[in-house]
Amino acid sequence: MSNADRPWEGRVAFITGAVTGIGLGVAQAFADAGMRLALSYRNEDDKNRVAEWFKAKGYEQPLFLKLDVTDRARFAQVAEEVVKHFGEVHVLVNNAGVSVFGPTDEASYDDYDWIMGVNFGGVVNGLVSFLPKIKASHGRRHVVNIASMAAFLPGPQAGIYTASKFAVRGLTESLRYNLAPHKIGCSLCCPALTRTNAWTSALKRPDGFGTSGFPEVAEGELQQFGTAFEEGMDPYEVGTKILAGMTEQKGLILTHPEHGPDFEEIHAATMAALPKEEAPAGRLKIEQLRRDAMKAAEEGLIIRLDDLT
């Protein structure tokens, strides 16, 4: 098989939250593509099950690294350990997250700090820790930030979760322009319903964020909510679609086809909200400069503030 058929073979990837759910699906898809892996984990039993999968497949064992993605000091250590072990690191997948829901108008500071700290802060910590290492490496390189379809679709029980995913979306779409001059690809992935145990996040609340404003939900009710995930996409399929999107240098990777009606509604509502009036020439000029700068950035030029006026 030629290098063109396996363009990521031998590349080193670090994936957060990689021993269950979507993170594991990505790890398995990457392993099948010949990549070398460093995987973060929290639970020893989950890690051992994944190690057995790699052994059964005859693949190189990943470098397993215990990590709480909100721990900046540990994240920096992990980045050093990955480079020390492999020599270089080429791909970062920020995947770890918590799925916690409740009425936003009743949320406490702890609710905000926990959910935003993991879902957005964890991505930030991954970028700050790993981007210098990736920039110093060579060849094909890529960053994938995994958000959620919630990055586009809000819901009445998902205010903070949605905010965290909107934040990851905005950060990633901007970061893509910054990484292009370094010849580093950057993708935002927004999966929808996937066959995972993400619904159990509410049962794993850290002691340091113990004061919740959300009403207590009975475990039976959570389990009933969890049955919806049984209808979800196989995480490995999500992983293969992420790998394909990286190969095609897609800025946006959407894995689930069922959201066409949602995007049509968003587009129609957005266009209908625009005022029906002419914009002045000066503002039109500034916005065209912005569009031109975005295209130039995507082609690899570094854009500075004076390019926007």
pLDDT digits (tens, 9 = 90+) for 268-284: 999 999 999 999 999 99
Range of the structural domain that residue 51 is part of = 12-262
User: Residue 131: pLDDT above 70?
Assistant: yes
- Catalytic residue flag (residue 41): no
Query: Tell me, what DSSP letter sits at residue 302?
Result: P
Residues 104 and 182 in one domain: yes
**For residue 286, what are its two tokens?**
């500034």
* 47-61, 67-81, 163-177, 218-232: least confident range: 218-232
The number of residues in the chain equals: 309
Q: Is residue 3 part of a domain?
A: no
Tally of domains within the chain:
2
Catalytic residue chosen out of the listed positions 41, 109, 112, 161? 161
Residues 224 and 172 in one domain: yes
Q: Which helix (H) or strand (E) holds 74?
A: helix 72-86
Q: Which residues of 157-181 are buried (b: 16+ CB within 10 A; e: fewer)?
A: ebbbbbbbbbbbbebbbebbbebbe
The C-alpha angle 173, 88, 5, rounded to 5 degrees, equals 70
Whole-structure pTM value: 0.93
Residues 308 and 255 in one domain: no
**For residue 115, what are its two tokens?**
């959910």
Q: Which of 240, 262, 284 is the last residue of a domain?
A: 262
Q: Is residue 5 part of a domain?
A: no
Residue found by looking up tokens 């905000």 in the block: 112
pLDDT at 13: 98
pLDDT at 224: 66
Residues 17 and 164 in one domain: yes
User: Residue 229: pLDDT above 80?
Assistant: no
Q: What is the CATH number of the domain that holds 119?
A: 3.40.50.720
- C-beta of residue 169 within 8 angstroms of C-beta of residue 147: yes
Residues 233 and 308 in one domain: no
SS (H, E, C) 223-289: HHHHHHHHHCECHHHHHHHHHHHHHCCCCEEECCHHHHHHHHHHHHHHHHHCCCCCCCHHHHHHHHH
pLDDT at 200: 67
Residues 257 and 280 in one domain: no
From the list 272, 267, 15, 307, the residue with the least C-alpha distance to 177 is 307
Dist. CA 234–CA 26, nearest whole Å = 11
pLDDT at 265: 97
What's the Cα-to-Cα distance from 30 to each of 18, 54, 62, rounded to whole Å?
A: 11, 12, 11
At 204, the pLDDT band (50, 70, 90 cuts) reads: confident
Q: Is residue 7 part of a domain?
A: no
User: Residue 226: pLDDT above 70?
Assistant: no
